[in-house]
Amino acid sequence: MTVSTELELQSFVLLRLGERRFAVSATQIAELVAPSRVFRFPHRTSKLEGVILRRGRIVPVCEVSEILLGKRLTSRRFYLIAVRNYGAQREWVAVPVTGECELINAEMMPAAESDAPHVAGWLSHDGDVIEVLNLDTLTPGPEQALLKSAAPQSEEGRP
């Protein structure tokens, strides 16, 4: 049995951030919405811009471009609203994207141990090798806060 026959076709949403494309499992996507007003208020969680109001729900906007591209992107075309797991709880998070999104079917290669924690796997599409994102580790949550507080020089530890 070859590797390819062991893999299954799955649906992914391809999103664009700057010049790069990333994928997220389509099962995690709630909707794609036009940018709306971001409400900002004081907080201490990095990578969190504020919240948007969507269908009466308050959805946090998670800034992921700095981790994925190494620079912050200010332009945005849509918010990809995705489901993020927090243990047994699930909540919506909004991820800003800078271009059109696309739904594709592809086979995902699982991530290797050496891959970054936010990489769920890899897929090949249109001659590109694309990272499949694990939003549960890419976006902020209590587990990251615990890791940070355990680190000796955490952001919160600074005066």
Interface residues with other proteins (CB under 8 A) are 39, 41-45, 48, 51, 53, 56-60, 62, 84, 86, 89, 91, 93, 139-142, 144-145, 156
Smallest gap from Cβ 110 to other proteins, in A, equals: 26
Tokens of 143: 């587990």
Smallest gap from Cβ 139 to other proteins, in A, equals: 6
- If the CB atoms of residues 10 and 45 are measured against other proteins, the closer one turns out to be 45
CB-based contact 102:53 (threshold 8 Å): no
What SS3 class is residue 17? Answer: strand
CB-based contact 132:25 (threshold 8 Å): yes
Smallest gap from Cβ 142 to other proteins, in A, equals: 5
- If the CB atoms of residues 23 and 64 are measured against other proteins, the closer one turns out to be 64
Tokens of 65: 């471009």
d(CA 80, CA 25): 12
